């Protein structure tokens, strides 16, 4: 008998009733420190008063219109995001995968509009994650996600992450774009080096390719800059955003330069819900906070302090934690035990975190956590590691410490 909810997820058997900041509460009042944050979505934590106010105020006025009419909230959000980024224009979506779909279509259309429709191929990277639609599973190239769904959509050439020579070798007469996550999230919290991103930018310019960034997970302040590519000192031609931009309300966006977007004229793309008034009210409220003076600076300080504590944990538990990696508050612990074991042990201590590839435990707290949450995380991970160590054979613990 199949579950009435399509069983594509192995869900954790916890039911939460409410959330407050970085904390989640079950019905029976048990409290969890939430470093999943809806997979890097709840950038301001749960039930942030400014977001609650924006949503409830809009809910009493107007929910949905369709894009047959002007939507002032969307016009305002677009103006603010163009002011704050490289972009001249953007398309609003309801998810990350849809933002990537728009980015892929736009890249193809750009070359078509330039009279080179044959340049539809996009270079992507091993370990990438771009979503679960047919185009984005083809772009991501993960065989687990492609298996059984028929022929993969053509047009993607995958090369090893960080391998410039492989990118160069993959460029052919049909190549139109390069698509990369500045920091791979699902792929194991693996950062592209900033020099590598600069090399890709130069390569794209040299060959007339579009540089497309997927900042669905690493964007919106997560790395301590509004967008991760700012660390590299480059700008993309097209960028997909989602997750954090809605703070928990489903919102995505595909941002672009005027040049890259030139093929996307009236009628070429659409979405019934994308950018609806409720979504735009919340996304504007997220920006109110993230763009506040000092917010991103505080994220960088918080990230530094959390990272120091994690390094301490690695020193204390060398048989469990092999490496601390990531940028800003997109952090990962590569573990020597199966990552799921540490995640379960942390949950038993009252802390939630998601897994990533490469045997990594991801730590994705809300961006506005304070000292109490950093201490709380340290204590819970420390206790979880101690329990796992106690279960290990004594030689393993000694061997790792030596």
Ligand X SMILES: *Cc1c(COP(=O)(O)O)cnc(C)c1O
Binding mask 171-210 for ligand X (x = CB under 6 A): ----------x---xx------------------------
Q: Backbone phi, then psi, for 256, in 5-degree steps?
A: -155, 160
- Find the length of the chain: 402
d(CA 252, CA 91): 8
For 96, the token pair is: 């990350």
Give the residue with the Cβ less far from ligand X, 110 or 129. 129
d(CA 240, CA 180): 10
373 binds ligand X (CB under 6 A): no
Would you give the DSSP letter of residue 230? Answer: G
Give the residue with the Cβ less far from ligand X, 241 or 320. 241
For 356, the token pair is: 């990533």
355 binds ligand X (CB under 6 A): no
- Structural Rg of the chain based on CA atoms: 21
Q: Which of 242, 278, 299, 361 binds ligand X (CB under 6 A)?
A: 242
Q: Which of 130, 225, 309, 334 binds ligand X (CB under 6 A)?
A: 130
332 binds ligand X (CB under 6 A): no
Q: How far is the CB of 362 from ligand X (least distance, A)?
A: 10
Q: How far is the CB of 87 from ligand X (least distance, A)?
A: 18
Q: What residues between 208 and 227 interact with ligand X by CB under 6 A?
A: 214, 216-217
* Angle (CA) 158 162 165, round 5°: 75
Q: How far is the CB of 11 from ligand X (least distance, A)?
A: 16
- Yes or no: say if 335 and 359 are a contact pair by the CB < 8 Å rule: yes
Q: How far is the CB of 90 from ligand X (least distance, A)?
A: 16
Q: How many CB atoms lie within 10 A of CB 166?
A: 16
- Yes or no: say if 185 and 191 are a contact pair by the CB < 8 Å rule: no
Binding mask 40-79 for ligand X (x = CB under 6 A): ----------------------------------------
Give the residue with the Cβ less far from ligand X, 105 or 298. 105
**Strands 210-214 and 175-180, how do they pair?**
parallel
101 binds ligand X (CB under 6 A): no
Q: How many residues bind ligand X (CB under 6 A)?
A: 15
257 binds ligand X (CB under 6 A): no
- Yes or no: say if 141 and 179 are a contact pair by the CB < 8 Å rule: no
Q: How many CB atoms lie within 10 A of CB 173?
A: 8
Residues at the site binding ligand X, with contacts judged by CB under 6 A:
95-97, 100, 129-131, 181, 185-186, 214, 216-217, 242-243
């Amino acid at each position: 008998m199949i579950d009435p909810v399509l069983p594509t997820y192995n869900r954790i058997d916890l039911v939460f009733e409410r959330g407050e900041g970085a904390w989640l509460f079950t019905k029976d009042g048990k409290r969890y420190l939430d470093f999943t944050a809806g997979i890097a979505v709840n950038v301001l934590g749960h039930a942030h008063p400014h977001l609650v106010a924006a949503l409830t105020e809009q809910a009493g006025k107007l929910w949905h219109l369709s894009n047959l009419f002007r939507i002032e909230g969307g016009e305002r959000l677009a103006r603010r995001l163009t002011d704050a980024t490289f972009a001249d224009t953007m398309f609003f979506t309801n998810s990350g995968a849809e933002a990537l779909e728009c980015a892929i279509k736009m890249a193809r259309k750009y070359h078509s509009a330039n009279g080179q429709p044959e340049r539809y191929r996009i270079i992507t990277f091993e370990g990438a994650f771009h979503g679960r639609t047919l185009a984005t599973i083809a772009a991501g190239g993960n065989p687990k996600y492609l298996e059984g769904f028929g022929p993969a959509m053509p047009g993607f050439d995958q090369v090893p992450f960080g391998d410039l020579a492989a990118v160069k070798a993959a460029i052919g007469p049909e190549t139109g774009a390069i698509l990369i996550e500045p920091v791979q999230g699902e792929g194991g919290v693996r950062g592209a080096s900033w020099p590598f991103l600069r090399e890709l930018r130069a390569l794209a310019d040299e060959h007339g390719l579009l540089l497309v960034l997927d900042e669905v997970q690493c964007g919106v302040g997560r790395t301590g800059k509004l967008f991760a590519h700012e660390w590299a000192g480059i700008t993309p031609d097209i960028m997909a955003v989602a997750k954090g931009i809605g703070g928990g309300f489903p919102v995505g966006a595909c941002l672009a330069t005027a040049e890259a977007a030139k093929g996307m004229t009236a009628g070429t793309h659409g979405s019934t819900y994308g950018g609806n008034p409720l979504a735009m009210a919340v996304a504007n409220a997220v920006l109110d906070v993230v763009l506040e003076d000092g917010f991103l600076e505080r994220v960088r300080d918080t990230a530094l302090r959390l990272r120091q504590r994690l390094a301490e944990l690695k020193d204390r538990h060398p048989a469990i934690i092999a490496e601390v990696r990531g940028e800003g508050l997109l952090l990962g612990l590569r573990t020597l035990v199966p990552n799921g074991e540490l995640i379960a042990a942390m949950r038993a201590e009252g802390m939630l975190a998601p897994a990533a590839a490469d045997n990594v435990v991801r730590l994705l707290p809300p961006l506005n956590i304070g000292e109490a949450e950093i201490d709380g995380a340290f204590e819970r991970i420390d206790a979880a590691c101690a329990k796992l160590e106690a279960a290990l054979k004594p030689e393993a613990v000694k061997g790792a410490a030596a």
